[in-house]
Amino acid sequence: MQQDSKPTFKYCIVPECKNTNRNAPNKVFFLVPRGEDVRRKWCKIMKRDMISPSTCLYCCEDHFDLEEDTANYIQYKIMNIQEKQKTVLRLKKGILPHKFQCQKNTTPQPSLERQAYKKRRHLEIIEEALSAVPAKQSVSTLTVSSQVDHEEASTSSSQIYAENIEMKNLCEAGCSASLSTENRIYVDKAVQVNSKNYYRSKGVNINFCAKKKNTATSPFKISKKTISTSPLKITHTSAKRVLCRDSDSIESVSSAQVTVLSSLSSEPDISSSQCSWAEEADSYTEAQFKSQMRTCTLVSIEMEPKMLIGLPKKSYYLIKLLSDNIPLPTVDILITLKKIKLNESVSILAMQFGYTQSTISRIFKKSVPVLAMKMKELIAWQTSAEVFKKLPIAFRARYSNVISIIDCLEIQIEKPTNAVYQSLTWSQYKKCNTLKYLISCTPDGLVTFISDGYGGRATDVMIVEDCSFLNYLQPGTAIMADRGFKDISHLLIKKNCTLIRPPSVSTATACTKEEVKQAKRIAALRINVERVISRLREFHILLPHACVDHHLVPVIDDIIIIACGLINMQDFLIKK
């Protein structure tokens, strides 16, 4: 049977401290650090010799402030109160013992004079006295001479000094009775006397009468002036405030008050004129700022039209053609195109063009339908002959009869409040409420068709069947699409057209080598429609997750028509 080990005997190493874990079992004993430098500091402050760092030593809690010197004092107290597992107190880093009430005061005492030094000093004083010239004077003579030397001192102090001298002489005479009176030696010594006149201070109450004068003042109105940072320098008016109209009429304080009040009553005219000047200056400054901002914005659009409105610099002449053929000023056209391209807030556009926010909103809603009606002319269906003239080389070998590549794009909108509209616009693919469009482009990247917007719930086949895309197809042509359009084959057969798409993939059977090559070739050619869609995404209002505001949903069809017209004015998608 295993026996329990005896507890370690702990004692405090501070000199004069008698605490151990036996006579004080409830006290906490801290382990002295084993580091040589730290232990040297502990031993120095405890006033004891250095102890080997390998020795296990303890110091009791009486030499510390537990609340301030320990890191886990609160946890220690809580665990002890709840009588759970005891927590070991840990000293903070760098803490040294600083309470030593157990030790006596060891401050050094002044050293006593040594007997040998005291005896030698006594002999030196005697020799010095014997070597001096003897002065044979009687006690009465010494007393009289001392009184004569200090005649100027006060009577009381002289009497006290004389009495002290007499008492001293009497004591000396009594102590040295064995000596003969004839051999007595007297020495003259200088004595300093502090004479001080004593006075008595006494407080006296005095009633001080000061002249007083009561004067009434009227409430003075502080004039205010609005100062604006305008380039105009407001000239100071020459009008001066007249405090007194006639000096002869001033006879009393009350009459002066009336004069001041009458003069102050005419002051608002000056302040009102200054305020009007300030308001005019502010309005002029605001108008000038708006004009400068509008000019800078128009110049920046003209310098970088591709970045700001999505139109290449070489096609900037389109802005002038639009302003000449539609009833819209150039500024309204640029505001609309800039909003479509960058999707900036109305407040930013209002600051840039110098209009109010409501004006910008009205301009945008009015201009979008008019611009879309004109820009729709840039989206035209191409005949097979026109497409073949610009057919890329990659299509000429196997797919020379392809006149259109189709795909669908989705744009996120705000969640409608109507539950029916929420269901119709929910897209399972995008996991949000969207509008869906069918887009068609030629093999060289020219947009030839864009459908109206459908809810995100509509399928690709439903959109192709419902929109007017099939009406543009010519017999003997081919349409290239993704796997999602596999169910439109019967619709194209009715038009005597062919659907070119990657082979279907089944989990049950593996694709043949020829099917894999065909899928790779079609995907490499069908990428052109993806590039067209990526150009549309450069217009920030048409980003996949732009979350179009519900107020803009009625004009989103016109916005996408304008964007398609602008990308048709850009550079060729496939550079030859």
Band (pLDDT 50/70/90 cuts) for residue 310 is very high
Band (pLDDT 50/70/90 cuts) for residue 6 is confident
Q: How far apart are CA 405 and CA 402, in angstroms?
A: 8
- DSSP letter assigned to residue 309: T
Closest CA to 408 of 356, 342, 464: 464
Closest CA to 527 of 470, 444, 460: 444
Q: What is the pLDDT of residues 327-336, one digit of tens each?
A: 999 999 999 9
pLDDT of residue 572: 86
pLDDT of residue 397: 84
Q: What whole-number percentage of the chain has pLDDT above 90?
A: 39
Q: What is the pLDDT of residues 212-248, one digit of tens each?
A: 677 666 665 555 565 555 554 444 444 443 433 444 4
Q: How far apart are CA 443 and CA 528, in angstroms?
A: 7
Q: What is the pLDDT of residues 479-499, one digit of tens each?
A: 999 988 888 999 999 999 999
Which backbone phi and psi does 185 adopt, to 5 degrees? -120, 130
Q: What is the pLDDT of residues 99-115, one digit of tens each?
A: 888 877 655 556 666 78
Q: One-letter amino acid identity for 437? A: Y
Helix (H), strand (E) at residue 440: strand 432-441
The pTM for the full model equals: 0.53
| Cβ-Cβ contacts under 8 Å for 343 (sequence gap 6 or more) | 539, 540, 541, 543, 546
Q: What whole-number percentage of the chain has pLDDT above 70?
A: 71
Band (pLDDT 50/70/90 cuts) for residue 69 is confident
* 236-245, 340-349, 396-405: the lowest-pLDDT one: 236-245
Q: How far apart are CA 360 and CA 371, in angstroms?
A: 16
What mean pLDDT is predicted for residues 375-404? 91
Contact 274, 234 (CB under 8 A): yes
pLDDT of residue 170: 44
Burial-class residue 446 by CB neighbours within 10 Å (0-12, 13-18, 19+). buried
Q: Which residue has the higher pLDDT, 103 or 133?
A: 103
Average pLDDT, the chain: 79
Tokens 């030499």 -> residue: 63
What mean pLDDT is predicted for residues 297-316? 93
pLDDT reading at 355 higher than 90: yes
The gap from C-alpha 433 to its chain's centroid, in whole angstroms, comes to: 37
* 63-72, 162-171, 443-452, 536-545: the lowest-pLDDT one: 162-171
Tokens 């002249």 -> residue: 211
Band (pLDDT 50/70/90 cuts) for residue 559 is very high
pLDDT reading at 252 higher than 50: no
pLDDT of residue 5: 64
What mean pLDDT is predicted for residues 52-65? 88
Q: Which domains does the chain have, with CATH numbers?
A: 7-103 (no CATH), 295-376 (no CATH), 379-505+512-568 (3.30.420.10)
Band (pLDDT 50/70/90 cuts) for residue 356 is very high
